[in-house]
Amino acid sequence: LQTSENKRRQFVSDASHELKTPLASIKLLTDSILQNDVDMPTVREFVGDIGREADRLNTMSQKLLSLSRVESQQDGDCEIIYLSPTLQRVARMLRGIAEKSQVSIELDLKNDSPVLFLEDDLYQIAFNLAENGIKYNVPGGKLSISLSREEDNAIIRFSDTGVGIPEDAVAHVFERFYRVDKARSRNSGGSGLGLAIVRNLVERNQGRIHVESAVGQGSVFTVTFPVFDMEEE
């Protein structure tokens, strides 16, 4: 009980801290507009910044809600699904952002397998991992999503040619609010919650997640789920 109470306190304190930063920026920007004799182009620029901070608060509160839902929800409607249609849908949704960032998306989904999954969880997992593979990439880079099968396991790999993760940070990326490069993450609307959500979703679907990365070369996030054996089960 003591441990879980400490964790809860830490979470509330981390969450308040993260929410305070954009609020402080909004306050500073509105004060500057009201107090100083600022010209119209500067006002527009500040208002634009306020809008971006509000978007960030919005994304963060949605992710916090989603995280607490994942943590409290014990079960739901499981269904037997193949992995590739969801991965194709994610790639379609992210094509626009990828093009803007000059990152190409490559799919290799031949080795598809059926898995038993909670509705929508697979989409959220794949979306977060693929989005990161684009966000933390470089112009001209690539994100590959591939499927393979090893014995009774279905494996999805999200492999990017991006900035990579320093060795000492790899162990922390699944922690809530952890960001390697705060400025880069903030510019791309990051909250440090995406991978914490992904790990929870993976684990509640009996899966495992693992990352390997090299700075300047890229990262590979590997997610493994038990295959649903149609004949046996």
Nearby residues of 78 by Cβ (< 8 Å), 6 or more positions away:
116, 117, 118, 119
Identify the residue among 163, 202, 209, 223 touching ligand ADP (CB under 6 A): 163
For 206, the 3-state DSSP assignment is coil
Of the listed pieces 49-57, 105-113, 114-122, 191-199, which binds ligand ADP according to CB under 6 A? 191-199
Select 113 or 134, whichever has its Cβ closest to ligand ADP: 134
Least distance in angstroms from the C-beta of 59 to ligand ADP:
8
The residue from 22, 141, 162, 207 that contacts ligand ADP (CB under 6 A) is 162
CB 160, min distance to ligand ADP, A: 5
Task: Give buried/exposed letters for 84-106 (b at 16+ CB in 10 A, else e).
Answer: bebbeebbeebeeebeebebebe
Using rule CB under 6 A, residue 22 touches ligand ADP: no
* Binding of residue 194 to ligand ADP (CB under 6 A): yes
CA atoms within 13 A on the CB side of 134: 24
Interface pick for ligand ADP out of 15, 64, 115, 173 (rule CB under 6 A) = 173
Nearer to ligand ADP, 32 or 102 (CB): 102
Q: What is the largest distance, in Å, between two alpha-carbon atoms of the chain?
A: 75
- What is the spatial order of strands in the sheet that 218-226 belongs to? 104-108, 142-150, 153-160, 218-226, 208-214
70 binds ligand ADP (CB under 6 A): no
The site for ligand ADP (CB under 6 A) is made up of: 132-133, 136, 160, 162-165, 173, 178-181, 185, 190-196, 219
